[in-house]
A and B are shown apart, each in its own frame.
Chain A
Amino acid sequence: MNRSIGLGATILAVTLAACHLSKPEYATIDAWLLCDECPDSLRLAVKNIGGKAVHTLDQALIGPSPGRRANKAAQFRYSYAMLPSPAVSESAYVADLLSNYVANYQSHAAISLGDIRTSAALAALQRASDSAAARKYRPDVVKVINVVLALASATSFGGTVNGNAGAVSARFADTVHVGRSAGLGWDGDESVIVHGSPFADSLLVARWSPDSLAFLAVAPLGDYAVSVTGLGANSARQVFPLRVVPPGYASHTAATAPLVTVDSIPQTRYLLLPSRPGDTTDFFRFEPTATHAVTASVTASGLEPATLRWLTCPALTLLTIPGPTTSVTGRVIDEQGRRVAGAEVMVPGYPTSAVTDSTGRFVLSGIAVEAARTFVARKVGFHPTRTLVQLAADSVQLGVVDSLLTAGTAVNRHASTLTMPAGSCRLLEVLVPFGGGPRTLRLRLTSP
């Protein structure tokens, strides 16, 4: 009888020892949750603790305890007291840093649960994902949880991404090509989901063929999990990590506006806006002439409302470039082809300007020929226009745009919508005031 009880107690002790964390293991987890310069070895050490750590990490995913938050708040209040002339209130200072602290704590817990990847760990992540609102997770924490969950709970993608196996980087709005691997069923109903992207409808499948598809990498810069769904006869899901990196974006001028084929509407374009202080203006050119109205809408959460303007495409004017000299001649006409007299033509950066004569002609001297120049034509009653002229070319176009169309702005979700009537070639000008928040803009073009 005694032997039997002793064996039972031994099994119980072994079970509990295997389940309970030792003091050093607690310390390791704590160090990982709290570190501000976090070596990979620490993350690996938590991973190696394995399933025993799940309960503690699950608790940590909820967030630091009230006692820990109180301690941290006290630290930040002390720090604030040391500032000679703080630029914010104590409450704002403490709240901001406490938010960072809690988010870091939760994110590290999520990452380690993904590393451990047991069913209990995945269940903890799923609970966190399901109760993100109730737990008041910060958006960046929600993203980490969703990405970790997606990566940890699915099979790694067996095909190729941009020709490579495994993780890839893509510049913002670049097309990412997903290819079938040998033996992977691919019947044409495959699609992709970018987990963690705040742009729920940002995935534009550009095309798919019997063994590949492509989509646009449209999400704020950072790391994402991409699921490829509908694979094979069982519509299985596989996943690969994607890092979105800066595109080196430069906005277009009217002269360099990318062509939007009206026949291809509806379509969506994405811009990752440059973040240098100052407004951003971009242009899109619509050709051929639309036979139906086109509605453009811009949404960009976190940005100031964008302003949209439809401009007629510049009227054609023939310029004669007298070779690589310093004089440029040309003529300005309006959109009906009538000669415009008295219009001022100038090149920004040059002190001289010219005024068109009664036939609309002008001569500008002293212009260097080594590069493209922007010519500006303006006259009272007309809206000024800018045209990029490659001075090495034999001829260029210079025009004056017609009247300003009304701009629609709405503060809700910072969306702007404007409809272009059918009938003429148009330029769409998108003006985005500089502001904080995500610098990503979505332009949707639809036709009633």
Chain B
Amino acid sequence: MWPLVRRRYALPVLLLFAHGCGSCYSADRPEPPSTSDVTALKIAPSTVFVVPGAIFVMRARILDGLGGVLPSHPDLAWSPGSGLSVVSKGADSAVVKANMLTSGTSLKSTITAQLGTHNAAASVTVLAQTAAGTNDIALGDNRNAMQPDVVLLDDLTAPIPIDDSLIAFVGIGLLGNLSGGTGEVARFASDQAFYREPVSWQVTKDVIDMRTPPPGTGPEPVETRAPIVATFRIWIASSKTGISTDADNDVKYATRVFRRERTGVALRALRLSAGKLGPITLGSGTNLCADIRAKLQALDVPSPNTSLAFSKESLNVVYVDDVVLPPTSPEEVLTPHGTAGYACPPDLVAAGAGTVILISAQRRGSGTLTHELGHALGLHEPESGHTNLVQGFSYTNMMWNSAGDIGTAPRSTFSLGQAFRINMDDHSWLHFVTGNTRNCDSTKVDRSCPPLEKEFP
């Protein structure tokens, strides 16, 4: 039998025995998309109400085949419809002006964006001042060259409940005729704080006034004006050359993303030098942050020559040489590995170190700080806040857990659902400022928070 076996099975047997699986051939992994091919084009907002004379920003959402939001495209062309004109344009945006109305009636127009063979149109309604009629309306500030405000509406006790309806507007927005009773509005605006208000919808016309009152005209709702300032300290505890400049650039990037994505948060960082430099090793067990305060103190954070100290409300970012994770198994001789960043929320940190973010100088990417700030500001679930494990997100979302190369665009976006949690969730560091303590637990089935993947219109 052997000669027969040898002849017939020579090749497979040879393959089986000559190659242990450790050395057998495996095909290379598929390459990621290497171009920024545009597969879809949208305009945000897709529907917007504006007052006559409004000057506002429309953004193009240029999507690649993976759903990633490409940040710019120089060939993007904008075509305004009647009553509109394009004042200027950027790589992914246009500043649009709504001309004054020549009659007393509202004007419905469109604006179109074109990129190669892709077209997208948005509806723009220029509202006559008398156009509101009996509809409920929202009033906001008419500010030049800003993205339109977005209002999230709930009218949950209506016969046909309205949940997470979205309206975009400049100056005045038509909400429809909500009359069901208990509801809520939440407003997202560029360079203004997140604003939320419970509403009891009436059959009669409701006016949700979110305008900034002129000075001296009475109680001024602070939250409708300047963004909430998130002040944090950055400690440089890394010996890497130029790390202070790196940290400054990281803060600039984070500031830009939080601003552009209408989170209502303005970042303010104070950079300090730690007393010592080096890596930091997170603890073992289920709480990696349990002894973080002692480990920071070993790096002289806070520095002995400053009066600054940790508190429950403090937010400290520490740039270290590396953020080392402990061995996974004590019985095996395993080399600990590192991580680009790690956010320790205040409820996980013993001894009142507040919120602590660690950034590895030797692993950080351009969005690491922004990503960790997202965790600190309430984006912690599901999947630890990582959207690569959640349906409805693309790799350009800030909370995608990868310093990877899935596409050509960087992590740069927050969804509306994420912006809501940043401002409202009880795990967000902002709750020390705002007092908001809503629990947006992903395991709950209720309507208190919009879906995490809810996008700006």
Contacts and interface: CB of A to CB of B under 8 A. Distances in A.
A37 interface: yes
A78 B395 CA distance: 14
B31 A38 contact: no
A259 B345 CA distance: 47
A59 interface: yes
Given A114-B335, A221-B279, A246-B298, A103 B363 contact: yes
A30 interface: yes
Contacts of B19: 15, 19
Contacts of B4: 4
B328 interface: yes
Contacts of B401: 35-37
Contact of A120 (B20, B28, B252, B255): B20
Interface string A191-206: 0000000000000000
B72 interface: yes
Contacts of A118: 20, 22
A19 B245 contact: no
A36 B13 CA distance: 42
Given A4-B8, A72-B405, A439 B277 contact: yes
B299 interface: yes
Nearest to A42: B401
**How big is chain B's contact interface, by range?**
35 or more
Contacts of B255: 84
Interface stretch (A46-54, A326-334, A338-346): A46-54
Contact of A55 (B25, B245, B327, B339): B25
A80 to B, nearest CB: 8
Interface of B is mostly: loop
A256 to B, nearest CB: 19
A246 B327 CA distance: 19
A424 interface: no
A93 B245 CA distance: 10
B29 A29 contact: yes
Nearest to B256: A82
Nearest to B408: A74
Contact of B363 (A15, A31, A100, A156): A100
Nearest to A241: B333
Contacts of A116: 22
B28 A59 contact: yes
Contact of B242 (A30, A96, A111, A120): A96
B198 to A, nearest CB: 36
A276 interface: yes
Interface in B402-441: 402-410, 412
A107 B362 CA distance: 11
Interface in B66-119: 71-72
A226 to B, nearest CB: 11
Contacts of B8: 4-5, 7-8
Nearest to B273: A277
Contact of B405 (A34, A54, A107): A34
B69 to A, nearest CB: 10
Nearest to A120: B22
A20 B255 CA distance: 45
Q: Which of B23, B33, B246, B364 has the most CB of A within 10 A?
A: B23
A52 B24 contact: yes
B339 A36 contact: yes
A87 interface: yes
Given A21-B27, A246-B298, 10 more contacts: A15-B12, A18-B21, A37-B339, A54-B22, A67-B31, A83-B253, A83-B256, A93-B249, A436-B240, A437-B241
Interface of B: 4, 8-9, 11-13, 15-16, 19-34, 36, 71-72, 237, 239-242, 245-246, 248-249, 252-253, 255-257, 273-279, 281, 298-300, 303, 305, 321-322, 324-325, 327-328, 330, 333-342, 362-368, 371, 384, 386, 388, 401-410, 412
- In order of increasing CB-CB distance, the 7 nearest A-B pairs are A120-B22, A34-B404, A19-B24, A79-B366, A51-B22, A36-B340, A51-B21
20 contacts: A5-B8, A12-B15, A20-B24, A35-B403, A37-B340, A39-B384, A40-B328, A51-B22, A55-B23, A55-B26, A76-B365, A81-B72, A83-B253, A84-B255, A88-B242, A100-B365, A116-B22, A120-B20, A246-B278, A276-B303
